[in-house]
Structure 1
Amino acid sequence: MKEQGKIFLRKSAPEKSARMVETIYGCKWSLTVYQLLANGINRPGAMVRSVEGLTTKVLNECLSKNAKFGILERITYNEVPPRVEYKVTEFGTKFIRILDELEKLQSEIESEML
Structure 2
Amino acid sequence: MKQYNLGIEATLEIIGGKWKALIICLLMTGVKRTSQLERSITGISQKVLIQQLRELESDGLVERKVYEQMPPRVEYSLTPYGVTAIRIVEVMCAWGTENIHMRQQAGEEIELLENESDASRASISY
TM-score with structure 1 setting the length: 0.66
The percent of aligned pairs where both chains have the same amino acid is 32
For residue 22 of structure 2, the aligned residue among 32, 51, 68 is: 32
* 1:80 counterpart letter in structure 2: M
Corresponding residue number in structure 2 for 1:72:
62
Q: Gapped runs of 5+ residues in structure 1?
A: 1-11
Question: For residue 90 of structure 2, what is the aligned residue in structure 1?
Answer: 100
Cα deviation for residue 104 of structure 1 reads 7.7
Letter paired with 1:69? D
- Counterpart in 2 of 1:7? none
- 1:60 maps to 50
What is the deviation of 1:78?
A: 1.2
List 4+ stretches of structure 1 deviating above 4 A: 104-107
Bigger radius of gyration: 1
Partners of 1:86 and 1:71 lie apart in 2 by: 10
Aligned residue type for 2:76: Y
Q: Scaled by the length of structure 2, what TM-score is found? A: 0.61
Residue 37 of structure 2 aligns with an amino acid whose one-letter code is M
State the number of aligned residues.
Answer: 95
Change (3 A) 1:56 1:104: closer
Q: Would the alpha carbon gap of residues 85 and 106 (structure 1) be closer, same or farther in structure 2, given more than 3 Å must change?
A: same
CA RMSD of aligned residues (A): 2.7
Task: Tell me: higher relative CO, structure 1 or 2? Use CA pairs within 8 A at least 6 residues apart.
Answer: 2
Q: Structure 2 unaligned segments of length 5 or more: list them.
A: 103-126
- Are 1:51 and 2:80 counterparts? no
